Amino acid sequence: MKLNVKIKRYNPEEDEAPHWETYEAPADPLDSALALLLHVKWYEDGTLTFRKSCAHGICGSDAMQINGENKLACSILVQDLVSGDGDTVTFAPLPGSPVIKDLVIDQSRFFEKYRAVKPWMITDGPAPERERLQSPEDFDMIEDATKCIMCGACTHSCPSTWADPDYLGPAAMLKAYRYNLDTRDDGSNDRLDVVDSKDGLWKCYTIFNCVQACPKGIDITRWLSALKRQAVSSQL
């Protein structure tokens, strides 16, 4: 089939404002949305710019707005985006961060927030000779959160983030959860100092946009609620 690929374009060296351009691309129902973008870039217009690498949903490079929803371009198929020949698929950058060019956003703030939550293992006392033990049940508590590929689809779908650029957002706080609930870690209080704050947990109004956006199907709101409970009980 043939599809219209409508892309929000912006070249800071030439354009005053973003504008839409539409291209035609051949497509198979089983092609990914990324394949459509690659077709345009490779065969129609080499200036089209977007990030990509793994092409199968593990590197987190190509989160963007596709038909109005935040998705990984490589992990959504044409058959799930259109009903037939001549339909249109739209692509825009993730909303809420400055656009560098076309579909590429400036992720520096997103990663600063990540770093702010101290996303690393903090332990007291000397390490044992062998691995620290962890029961399969305790591992299950964090497994879902460890799937996060830091694509940013969640944080850039969150009205609290759009409204307040300082809000840590779901991705960073999920990382805090991932370490805080890890039975091997002793750094909960260090991270709670960061997330239990006006820019943190309490700006999450459980709107669930993040859960809907997450390409890895992570139950983000559930884990952030658990983190809220941890914050509350740590104050008791």
Q: Judged by CB under 6 A, does residue 62 bind ligand FES?
A: yes
Q: Which segment (40-48, 57-65, 164-172, 195-203) binds ligand FES by CB under 6 A?
A: 57-65
Q: Which of ligand SF4, ligand FES, another protein, none sits in contact with 72, Cβ below 5 to 8 A by type? A: ligand FES
**201's tokens:** 């947990």
Q: Judged by CB under 6 A, does residue 104 bind ligand FES?
A: no
Contacts with another protein by CB under 8 A lie at 11-14, 30, 32, 41-43, 45-47, 49-61, 75, 77, 100-101, 104, 107, 111, 115, 118-121, 123, 127, 129-136, 138-139, 142-143, 146-150, 178-179, 182, 184-185
Going by their DSSP bridges, the two strands 88-92 and 104-105 should be labelled as unpaired
Number of separate helices (H) and strands (E) present in the chain: 8, 7
Q: Judged by CB under 6 A, does residue 55 bind ligand FES?
A: yes
Q: Are 231 and 195 in contact (CB under 8 A)?
A: yes
One residue of 72, 81, 117, 224 binding ligand FES per CB under 6 A: 72
Q: What are φ and ψ of residue 64, in 5° steps?
A: -160, 175
Q: Are 84 and 28 in contact (CB under 8 A)?
A: no
Cα separation, 67 vs 78, in Å, equals 11
Cα separation, 165 vs 90, in Å, equals 26
Q: Which of ligand FES, another protein, ligand SF4, none sits in contact with 153, Cβ below 5 to 8 A by type? A: ligand SF4
Cα separation, 63 vs 151, in Å, equals 6
Q: Judged by CB under 6 A, does residue 184 bind ligand FES?
A: no
Q: Judged by CB under 6 A, does residue 93 bind ligand FES?
A: no
Cα separation, 40 vs 51, in Å, equals 14
Of 115, 119, 231, which Cα lies nearest the Cα of 182? 119
Q: How far is CA 81 from CA 18, 84, 117, in A?
A: 23, 9, 36
Q: Judged by CB under 6 A, does residue 38 bind ligand FES?
A: no
Q: Which of another protein, ligand FES, ligand SF4, none sits in contact with 16, Cβ below 5 to 8 A by type? A: none
Q: Judged by CB under 6 A, does residue 77 bind ligand FES?
A: no
Q: Are 189 and 234 in contact (CB under 8 A)?
A: yes
Q: How far is the CB of 174 from another protein (least distance, A)?
A: 12
CB nearer to ligand FES: give 53 or 123: 53
Q: How far is the CB of 127 from ligand SF4 (least distance, A)?
A: 28
**234's tokens:** 């740590």
Q: Which residues bind ligand FES (CB under 6 A)?
A: 52-55, 57-62, 72, 74
